[in-house]
Amino acid sequence: MPLTFLRNLGIVSAAGITTTKLGAGAVLQVVTATDSTERTTTSTSFVTSTGLSLSITPSSASNKIFLVSSHTGYNDTAGQITFYTLYRDSTNLGATNGFGIYRTSSTTDENCISMSHLDSPSSTSAITYAVYFKVSANTGYVNKGSLKGTLTAFEIAG
């Protein structure tokens, strides 16, 4: 197989691709938060004690933020529900009961909860995104068994 050689014929190292040269839909930045602490709530209103939060500053007000979250879900009482949602600052991005639910059918099962959302914050200020949770009754969990949960934000060119 013949070898191919590439030469740098005057490309300046500081001449990287600028965001103005990238088209709509390009990923401009990625921020990730991880947490492996088992956390609980008995609140019937959404609370943010999940440990999964991050801050991202969009470079343009026309850009979007794509959020992806994954963690374990659990409720310690059979037949009860733990609800999960994503917040932008103090705004619930999901419906009244969020994006995901976990209904416990026994007292020994937990499953992975995955949520995603494409947000249009229309801002160039720092934004905090976080996973919130609440219960229908009893105790709800995030990262049951100290498994790792993640929240990732992708800034997408508008």
Q: Return the closest-CA partner of residue 72 out of 52, 87, 94, 48.
A: 52
Q: Check pLDDT > 60 for residue 151.
A: yes
State pLDDT tens for residues 51-75. Answer: 899 999 999 999 999 999 999 988 8
Dist CA 36 CA 92 (whole Å): 23
**What per-residue confidence (pLDDT) applies to 16?**
53
**What per-residue confidence (pLDDT) applies to 20?**
60
**What per-residue confidence (pLDDT) applies to 109?**
67
Domain range summary for the chain, segments of one domain joined by +? 25-156
Q: Which residues contact 91 (CB under 8 A, 6 or more apart)?
A: none
Work out whether the CA dihedral 42, 140, 131, 148 comes out positive or negative: positive
Q: What is the mean pLDDT of the chain?
A: 87
- CATH class of the structural domain 25-156: mainly beta
**What per-residue confidence (pLDDT) applies to 9?**
57
Please give the torsion angle defined by the CA atoms of residues 75, 81, 86 and 88, in that order, rounded to the nearest 10 degrees.
Answer: -100
